[in-house]
Structure 1
Amino acid sequence: MSTPTRAVVVGGGLAGVTSALELADAGLKVTLLEGRPRLGGLAFSFKRGDLTVDNGQHVYLRCCTAYRWFLDRIDGAALAPLQDRLDVPVLDVAHPAGPRLGRLRRTALPVPLHLVGSLARYPHLSPAERACVGRAALALRKLDPADPALDGLDFATWLARYGQSDRTVEALWDLVGIATLNATADQSSLGLAAMVFKTGLLSEPGAADIGWAKVPLGDLHHTLARKALDAAGVDVRLRSRVTALSRGTGTGWRVDTEDDRLTAGTVVLAVPQREAHGLLPHGALADPDKLLDIGTAPILNVHVVYDRKVLRRPFFAALGTPVQWVFDRTDASGLTDGGQYLALSQSAAQDDIDEPVPVLRAKYLPELERLLPAARGAKVRDFFVTRERTATFAPTPGVGRLRPGPRTDAPGLYLAGAWTATGWPATMESAVRSGVGAAHAALAALGRHRENPLQEAA
C-alpha cells in the first residue's frame, strides 16, 4: 500500500484512539504506537490485590457529545450511564448549626428555570447570595467563550464584578469549577470557565446530567477500545515508544521507535504537550516553545476501603473540609465481601500532591469521619493514593493563545490531545474532540470526505 494512505498515530490515550478509529474508518492503513503496555492515557485502571482500581474518578456530562459518541463507537455506552436528571448532594460540615445537606438538582423546565427551584432551596447560600447568583448566570449567558478577550481575564475577577461573595464562589462556582477546570476561579481563564458553565448549566436542561463508568475505566478505554481498533483494522503496538519523527523521502514521514522504523504519509501526534514539543521537527510550528508555556495541574485521588458500608449514596460533594468529591467504587472495583471502597477526587491538589501517604491518611480519614458518621466505628482495611502530577493542562488566563489547532506547518503532520485548541478544558471530551479534529484535518488534506461524527452527535 502506498505511503500516502498509511497513517501513524503516536499515543494511545483517548485522543489517539479516536484519531486511529476515524482514519481507519475512512480507509487508511493505520498503525497506533503507545509506549505503555495499555491504552487509555490518563484514564486507566490497575490491579491492587483483588481490587481493580481506577487511577482517578472520571465523570462526563450529557453535553459531552464527543465522549458519548466515543462510548457508542466502542460499544461501551451501557457501561457508563448518565443520571436521569442532574442531582448532586452537597454536604457542608462547617455550618454553624451543624452539618447540612443541600442538593443541586434540575427540573425539566427550560433554561434557566430548570435550576431556579434548586437554587432557591440551596441551604449553603443566603437568600441575597442566591439572588446574586441568578444575576451572574444571566450575565454569563451573554458571554462568548470563543472571544479571545475573555481568555486573558480570570474568572474570579469577573465573579467579583457581579457581586459573588467568597462564600458563593466556594459553595457554588468553585464546587463545579475546580472539578471541571482543575483550578480555582482565580486561576481559571474566564473563557474556559464561561465555556464550562454556559455549556453545562445554561445550554439545555439536561446538559449537566452526570455520567460515570460502572466498570473499571480499563474495561472501556483499553479493552473495548482495543476491540474496536482491532475490528477497524488498526495495527496496535503497545510498549512501542517513539523516539524520533522526521521527513522521509518525497512526502512521507519516518517514525522511529526503540526497535523499529515506520513510514507514513500522515502522522498524528496524540501525546502530552511536552512530549509533542520534543518530537516536532523543525518548522512544524511557528513558535513550538509555546507548548512548553502550557502549564500543568495535578489531581490527587485518595482511596479508602472500609470493612462495612459507610456511604449510602453513589457520590457527594463536600464543603467546609479539604475533601472535595467522594464516590462509591465498591461494585466497579470488584469488592464483594461486605466492605465499601470510597474514592476521593481532589482536583487542583498542588498542596497535597507530594505529601507522604501517612500525612494524607492523618488528614483525610478524620475528615471522612466528620462527613460520614458511620465511618467513625468502621475499620480501615486499606488506604492508598494515586497521583497524577500533570493530570491536565492548567487553565490559567492566557492559555488559549498557547493551544495549537490540529494542523501544523508540516504537511501530513497533525496534533491531538486535550491540551490542543478544542475550546474545552482538559477533559475526556476535549481529548476525543481533538482526536476527531486531527483525523478530519488529515482526511481533508488527502481529499477524502467523511461525515464528522461530532456534527451528527450534536
Structure 2
Amino acid sequence: MTGTGTGTRRAVVVGGGLAGVTAALQLAGAGVAVTLLESRPRLGGLAFSFQRGELTVDNGQHVYLRCCTAYRWFLERIGGTALAPVQDRLDVPVLDVGRARPRLGRLRRTALPVPLHLAASLAGYPHLSLAERASVGRAALALGRLDPADPALDGIDFATWLGRHGQSPRTIEALWDLVGVATLNATAPDTSMGLAAMVFKTGLLSDPGAADIGWARVPLGELHDTLARKALETAGVRVETAVRVRGLARDPEADGRGWRVETDGETLTADTVVLAVAQREAHALLPEGALADPDRLLDIGTAPILNIHVLYDRKVLRRPFFAALGSPVQWVFDRTEASGLAEGQYLALSQSAAQDEIDAPVAELRERYLPELERLLPPTRDARVRDFFVTRERTATFAPAPGVGRLRPGAATRAPGLYLAGAWTATGWPATMEGAVRSGFTAADAALRALGRPHEHPLKEAA
C-alpha cells in the first residue's frame, strides 16, 4: 500500500488519455507525487496508433488548429512540436463532384486582419453562388457578436440559427457543415449553437492564423504514448498501464481527507484523485454524493467516427489532404509517410457523424467508397487496391447536441480532493484534443489550489 504521508502530497490520476497525462504533468510539476493508472496497454486515449503488419496505423485522423493553444502546449511539453507542424496559412482544397463536372475550390486565408483574411477566398469560392457568398459574410458578422458562453445559445441548434441568418441548405452543406462536422462530429441540426459559436468564432474570427491546420507527420502513438510516457517519467510520475481501477472510496485512516483507489493488484492512497476517464466510466467510479445529480453524466450522448483506410499500389493524390462535396466522402488524408509505407500510397478517409455507417460491414463500405474515390481521384481508376480496412470509434466524442452544456460538470466535485477531467467536462470546447488538454489543466489547477501548492497556469488567458 502507498501511504499519503505528512510531507509529500500524493495524487492518483485515473486515465491516460490527453486529459489524464496533462493533469499528471501539471501535478508533478508542482511537486506532487503522482501515479497514473491506465486500463489500456498504452497511453493516448482515443488518439492512438496500432500495428497492421509493417504498417503503423492511426485509429483515426486527428488535426488541430493554431488557436488550440492548450494542445500546442502539450506538444511542446512532450517534445513533439516539430512532429506535428501547422500550415503556414490555412489552405483547404474542396472538391465538389456533385455537379455536372468536378470542380475544385479552396478555403484559404491571407495576412489581412479579421475578417478580411477570408474575404478573397470567400469571394472566389466556386461552390456557392454570389448571393450565398454575400450571405455568409453577414452571418459571420452576426456570429462574431455572440458570446459562446451564453447559456441561451446552448438551447438552440446551429441549423436553426443559420436559417434565421439567411443560410441556404447549399451554404450549410458547402461551408458550415464542411467545417462543423469535422470539428464538432455532428451536422448543424444536431449541434448546440453555443459549441458552434465557440468553434467558428475562435477558429475563424479571433485571429487571422487561428484556423491554420496542424496534424501529426508521425504516428499518433509516437506523440501521445512514447513521448508522453517519457515526459511523465522524467517528471517523476509513476505510470502503470493495463491496470483497471475497481473502486474509489474515502481513506478511513486519513480522517476522511484522503482517498483509496482499488485496482486488481494493489490499493493506493492519495490526497487527490483525478478521474480522467469517459463519462460513463466516471459515473461508475464516483462515490455517493460526489455530484448532485450524477446520472446527468449518462445523459451526455456519444457520437461515432468511422475511418476508412485504403492502400494503393501507386501515388493517386498529390495533396496532403482535401475535403469533398457531393459525395459521402468527407475528408481524405495522405498517411503514406507517417505509416511507414514504402511503396504506393495510403489514404485515410475520416467520416465524422457516422451513425448510419458505423456498424456497416467492411465489404459494404468497400463497395460504397472505392467508386467514390474513383470519382474524386481519377488516378485511382488505374491503381490496384492493396488493402482496404476500417477502424471504428463508436463513442469517439460526446454528442454536441443542444442542451449538452447544462449536463457537462466542472472539474471540482462535492467530495474534497476528487476532480474530473475529460473533453466531456465543462471546458467550453467541443470534444477535441484541445478540450481534453484544457480539462487536464483545470482539474490539476483546482487540485493544486486545494493542496495549497503554488503553481502557474500554462495558458495566460486562462490564468
TM-score range, shorter chain: over 0.9
The answer to whether structure 1 residue 377 and structure 2 residue 370 are counterparts is no
Is the CA contact (8 Å cut-off) linking 1:303 and 1:344 kept in structure 2?
A: yes
* Cα drift, residue 125 of structure 1: 0.1
- The residue that corresponds to 1:330 in the other structure is 336
CA distance in 2, matches of 1:213, 1:454: 22
Give CA-to-partner distance per residue, 1:195-220, whole Å, 9 cap, x none.
00000000000000000000000000
* Cα drift, residue 5 of structure 1: 0.4
The answer to whether structure 1 residue 237 and structure 2 residue 240 are counterparts is yes
Question: Among 420, 432, 440, which residue is 1:415 paired with?
Answer: 420
The answer to whether structure 1 residue 138 and structure 2 residue 138 are counterparts is no
* Cα drift, residue 2 of structure 1: 1.6
The answer to whether structure 1 residue 274 and structure 2 residue 277 are counterparts is no
- The residue that corresponds to 2:267 in the other structure is 261
Report matched runs for 1:35-434 at 5 Å: 35-96=39-100, 98-249=101-252, 250=255, 251-337=257-343, 339-434=344-439
- The residue that corresponds to 2:459 in the other structure is 454
The runs of 4+ residues in structure 1 deviating greater than 6 Å are: none
Is the CA contact (8 Å cut-off) linking 1:66 and 1:457 kept in structure 2?
A: no
Is the CA contact (8 Å cut-off) linking 1:69 and 1:457 kept in structure 2?
A: no
CA distance in 1, matches of 2:121, 2:306: 30
Amino acid aligned to 1:400: G
CA distance in 2, matches of 1:401, 1:260: 37
Partner SS, residue 384 of structure 1:
strand
Is the CA contact (8 Å cut-off) linking 1:65 and 1:457 kept in structure 2?
A: no
Amino acid aligned to 2:384: K
Partner SS, residue 338 of structure 2:
helix
Query: Structure 1 regions of 5+ residues with no counterpart?
Result: none
Q: Normalising by structure 2, report the TM-score.
A: 0.98
> 241-250 or 81-90, which moves further after superposition?
241-250
* Cα drift, residue 423 of structure 1: 0.2
* Cα drift, residue 94 of structure 1: 1.1
In the comparison of the two structures, how many residue pairs are matched?
456
Partner SS, residue 70 of structure 2:
helix
CA distance in 1, matches of 2:457, 2:408: 22
Give CA-to-partner distance per residue, 1:350-395, whole Å, 9 cap, x none.
0100000000000000000000000001000000000000000000
CA distance in 2, matches of 1:455, 1:336: 43
> 447-456 or 314-323, which moves further after superposition?
447-456
The answer to whether structure 1 residue 29 and structure 2 residue 33 are counterparts is yes
* Cα drift, residue 456 of structure 1: 7.0
Is the CA contact (8 Å cut-off) linking 1:62 and 1:207 kept in structure 2?
A: yes
Give CA-to-partner distance per residue, 1:295-325, whole Å, 9 cap, x none.
0000000000000000000000000000000
CA distance in 2, matches of 1:121, 1:256: 60
Give CA-to-partner distance per residue, 1:165-193, whole Å, 9 cap, x none.
00000000000000000000000000000
Partner SS, residue 430 of structure 2:
coil
Query: Structure 2 regions of 5+ residues with no counterpart?
Result: none
* Cα drift, residue 413 of structure 1: 0.1
Q: Normalising by structure 1, report the TM-score.
A: 0.99
Amino acid aligned to 1:92: D
The answer to whether structure 1 residue 10 and structure 2 residue 14 are counterparts is yes
Is the CA contact (8 Å cut-off) linking 1:271 and 1:416 kept in structure 2?
A: yes
* Cα drift, residue 259 of structure 1: 1.5
Give CA-to-partner distance per residue, 1:5-55, whole Å, 9 cap, x none.
000000000000000000000000000000100000000000001100000
CA distance in 2, matches of 1:53, 1:158: 39
Amino acid aligned to 2:236: G
Query: Once superposed, what is the RMSD of the aligned Cα atoms?
Result: 0.9
